[in-house]
Structure 1
Amino acid sequence: MPDNVPRPGTDSNDRATLRADCANCFGLCCVALTLTRSADFAINKDAGKPCRNLQKDFRCGIHTDLRTQGFPGCTVYDCFGAGQKVSRETFDGQDWRRSPQTAEQMFQVFPVMRQLHELLWYLTEALSLGAARSLHAEIRRGLEETDRLTRLPAEAFTNLDVASHRDDVAGLLLRTSELVRATVPRRKKRDHRGADLIGARLKGADLRGADLRGAYLIAADLTGADLRLADLIGADFRDADLSGADFTGSLFLTQAQLNAARGDTATKLPPSLSRPTHWGPVNSRPGPCR
């Protein structure tokens, strides 16, 4: 990593290192992961086998046509910058084609790194939340420890207990969420954690400060809904209609969740996220992958 690029946690508003930079990745998501033929992917592909669309320069040959060619799942996936970390730092720029002896280990490290980078995304956001100031010291320690784990040598990832670390971070993020959501005035108890809201009619719903962690909102109608300060970590928005919805200040929303949904120019998003190209006109920030 160049010296002028801050590490996660040095600037709570900076997430540059947590955005996918496909130009500096060896197409790891196109090789390391399993694809199952479905509405999301047009083919079956085993983990460790390159996708048929992966070119010699590690770019996708149908990137601009992924949705029309039967690969909408690829437009939803986000590695949170893990691809370039593994490619350029963990393996010091050795690619799996020219250095095939690195391939198996590289493909094993990548999904673990992706989990750690997702945690960095959430922790960086948590550290920016003023209402959770009493937890900032703990959050920063969690952020620094997670960052340390991402910088371990490749062989250390084999026995890394990521599940245990995720549990620790999850508890901290939940406490952060509770502090922030408690600031919503006259907030009713809206506990929809893990709820089955598939196809739910929530047009114009007041969901301010709601707990929607892990909720199934597939194909839900959320047009014009107010989701300010709602906890959205892990919520499934596949094919949900977010037209005109307000996500201002929502907690732990990711680009992948937005990419899986439908929205329009009236949908209000946090400044750290981009309007997906399939929604129509886009803002100046590019999506997660090129």
Structure 2
Amino acid sequence: MADTGREALRGDCANCFALCCVALTLTASSDFAVDKAAGRPCTHLRDDFRCGIHTRLRPKGFPGCTVYDCFGAGQKVSQETYGGRDWRSSPDLAAQMFQVFPVMRQLHELLWYLTEALARPEARPLRAELRRALEATERHTARPAVDFAGLDVAGHRDQVAGLLQRTSELVRAAAPRSKKRHRPGADLIGARLRGADLRGADLRGAYLIAADLTGADLRLADLIGADFRDADLSGADLAGSLFLTQTQVNAAKGDAKTVLPPSLSRPAHWTAPSAPGGS
């Protein structure tokens, strides 16, 4: 059985053939400085499959690249599905490889959520179902490349989504009942939520773009699919929050006082808080 520990679900660029830099479509915007069609290598991609502006992505107009996370799908496709064959040396495989990669990413994202759900003590009543769902997802990731075109990822995702929602209900039941309970998909763009008590809130798919969440308490909140682009998480407490991903954290703003789950890393672009009395 494949290793579904957290380490296997983190991007490892050294063992990937830069699939995200080729397979995906880029649209010129505040996230990407240029348009790029799917299947066309980024102009900054070097011959060794490394980014030529990796340390300067944000100032060069590519903050979207610093946000992206493949959940380990890149190295899975590169080293396991295709056995170390890359799209440059095997151009006959390139088109297929670029189609397999986004499907694999979806499956690896599901593995991330299922792995977290299995680790939650509150989800013990669902453990057998969660384990079966994880094993089924693992089997999909191990399929031959030719099988991916016919894989019903949407159907599988829907089945897993229902199980994750039941997990969420069990976990959030342990949180104190706050006065404000936001609904899934809530429009909270630019919302002023500084210091808000959002413990156990259902924020699945919520639009939190540019929201002020400074000092907010998001413990045990369900954050699956929430859009945190430019949201201010400075000093916020996200310990124990549900289904938070590195992509969401990377898209937000934060500081050294932001409390993250141990499975996630503090983005390099987050600023440290000012010293007392400092300007």
CA contact (8 A) 2:233 2:254 kept: yes
Given residue 7 of structure 1, which amino acid in structure 2 is its aligned partner? D
Question: Take 2:177 and 2:78, find their aligned partners in 1: how far apart are those partners?
Answer: 49
1:68-95 Cα shifts (integer Å, max 9, x gaps):
0000000111000000000000000000
Aligned to 1:11: none
Task: Say how many residue pairs are matched.
Answer: 272
SS of structure 1 residue aligned to 2:97: helix
> Which of 4, 7, 24 is the matching residue for 2:3?
7
Aligned to 1:285: none
Q: Does 1:254 align with 2:245?
A: yes
Question: Take 1:184 and 1:161, find their aligned partners in 2: how far apart are those partners?
Answer: 36
Aligned to 2:213: 222
Aligned to 1:97: 88
Question: Take 2:122 and 2:35, find their aligned partners in 1: how far apart are those partners?
Answer: 46
Given residue 41 of structure 1, which amino acid in structure 2 is its aligned partner? F
1:216-247 Cα shifts (integer Å, max 9, x gaps):
00000000000000000000000000000000
Question: Take 1:187 and 1:136, find their aligned partners in 2: how far apart are those partners?
Answer: 28
SS of structure 2 residue aligned to 1:200: coil
Aligned to 2:258: 267
Question: Take 1:78 and 1:171, find their aligned partners in 2: how far apart are those partners?
Answer: 24
Query: What's the CA shift for 1:190?
Result: 1.1
Given residue 106 of structure 1, which amino acid in structure 2 is its aligned partner? M
> Which of 51, 62, 68 is the matching residue for 2:59?
68
1:99-138 Cα shifts (integer Å, max 9, x gaps):
1111000000000000000000000000000001000000
Query: Where does the alignment leave 5 or more consecutive residues of structure 2 unmatched?
Result: 273-279
SS of structure 2 residue aligned to 1:17: helix
Given residue 205 of structure 1, which amino acid in structure 2 is its aligned partner? A
Aligned to 2:23: 32
1:126-155 Cα shifts (integer Å, max 9, x gaps):
000000100000000000000100000000
Query: What's the CA shift for 1:7?
Result: 1.2
Aligned to 1:119: 110
Aligned to 1:286: none
Aligned to 1:287: none
Query: Where does the alignment leave 5 or more consecutive residues of structure 1 unmatched?
Result: 9-13, 282-290
| TM-score, structure 2 normalization | 0.96
> Which of 113, 137, 161 is the matching residue for 1:146?
137
Question: Take 2:76 and 2:179, find their aligned partners in 1: how far apart are those partners?
Answer: 42
What is the alpha-carbon root mean square deviation over aligned residues?
1.1
Higher relative contact order (CA 8 A, sep 6+): 1
Question: Take 1:38 and 1:189, find their aligned partners in 2: how far apart are those partners?
Answer: 35
SS of structure 2 residue aligned to 1:279: coil
Aligned to 2:197: 206
Question: Take 1:260 and 1:116, find their aligned partners in 2: how far apart are those partners?
Answer: 21
Query: What's the CA shift for 1:191?
Result: 3.1
Aligned to 1:59: 50
Q: Does 1:245 align with 2:236?
A: yes
Question: Take 1:186 and 1:147, find their aligned partners in 2: how far apart are those partners?
Answer: 36
Question: Take 1:185 and 1:205, find their aligned partners in 2: how far apart are those partners?
Answer: 13
Q: Does 1:81 align with 2:77?
A: no
Question: Take 1:115 and 1:54, find their aligned partners in 2: how far apart are those partners?
Answer: 24
Given residue 55 of structure 2, which amino acid in structure 1 is its aligned partner? T
Question: Take 1:88 and 1:256, find their aligned partners in 2: how far apart are those partners?
Answer: 23
Aligned to 2:153: 162
Aligned to 1:195: 186
